[in-house]
A = this chain, B = another copy of it.
């Protein structure tokens, strides 16, 4: 879906941030991006819908090479929605209603079409009761929810989220992740940057590990987090569940994705053990 090929980028009067980055986000998958702060994640995102233009290297969207002409950009930006870290820096309209309409209006949509999409978003995100509220009366969690809604109303094909769960409590995170899963099920590819590895392990189909401006590793979370030594090299560590499993079964190279799966596996192991011990006896 989104493909980057040997992308280099240096900020004007700044440091070189992307150093030959290659990335392929496959369509319809849940993707996660992990890496230290300052490794270039945000810069990468800004390349994902043409906000920055690489110094060298190409970016392909749906197999098409992006040429940064005005029309291409407009279409591209419609199809890639980005939710940034801080909602205060993304919401521009003082009213919830206007915030939702803002993006749609700038896509050059007709009024009737706009209304239809708005209605859909209102139902999906349960925003109807907020509609006449000003944005500054919302709490942080609600603001994050609204940023997501304001992006999703444009119906993007790829949704990019930068640390959506920071500062949220468990309940809010649950709701947020559920909504993202809904969005994914409806056919949108999702790419999340996060520091919460346990979430990555459970949620993602593919993990990209970023280090110093490059994608240094990728694969399913089980594969990636199993390579503990390599991750250590980039000082990244592993999810808690992975280290628990490692403790229990030092020779098992697999990692359960969540506590449920661990439970099942444990049962299987027990059964085998029983059978073994029966044999021994």
Interface positions of A (Cβ within 8 A of B): 35-38, 85, 139-141, 163, 166-172, 195, 197-198, 235-237, 240-241, 243-244, 247-248, 259, 262-263, 266, 277, 281
Contacts and interface: CB of A to CB of B under 8 A. Distances in A.
B198 A240 contact: yes
Given A167-B85, A168-B195, A195-B168, A247 B262 contact: yes
B37 A139 contact: yes
A125 B277 CA distance: 56
Given A244-B259, A262-B247, A170 B237 contact: yes
26 contacts: A35-B169, A36-B169, A36-B170, A37-B139, A37-B167, A37-B168, A37-B169, A37-B172, A38-B139, A38-B141, A85-B167, A166-B167, A168-B195, A169-B195, A170-B195, A170-B197, A170-B235, A171-B235, A240-B240, A240-B241, A240-B259, A241-B244, A244-B244, A244-B259, A244-B262, A248-B248
A153 to B, nearest CB: 25
A259 B247 contact: yes
Nearest to A41: B169
A210 to B, nearest CB: 11
Complex A-B, nearest 5 residue pairs according to Cβ-Cβ distance, in ascending order? A166-B166, A36-B169, A247-B263, A37-B169, A170-B237
B248 A266 contact: yes
A82 to B, nearest CB: 17
A171 B141 CA distance: 26
A148 B196 CA distance: 23
B235 A247 contact: no
A212 to B, nearest CB: 13
A195 B195 CA distance: 14
Contact of A266 (B140, B172, B243, B247): B247
Nearest to A236: B170
A169 to B, nearest CB: 5
Contacts of A237: 170
Contacts of A236: 170
A15 B35 CA distance: 41
Contacts of A140: 37
Contacts of A247: 259, 262-263, 266
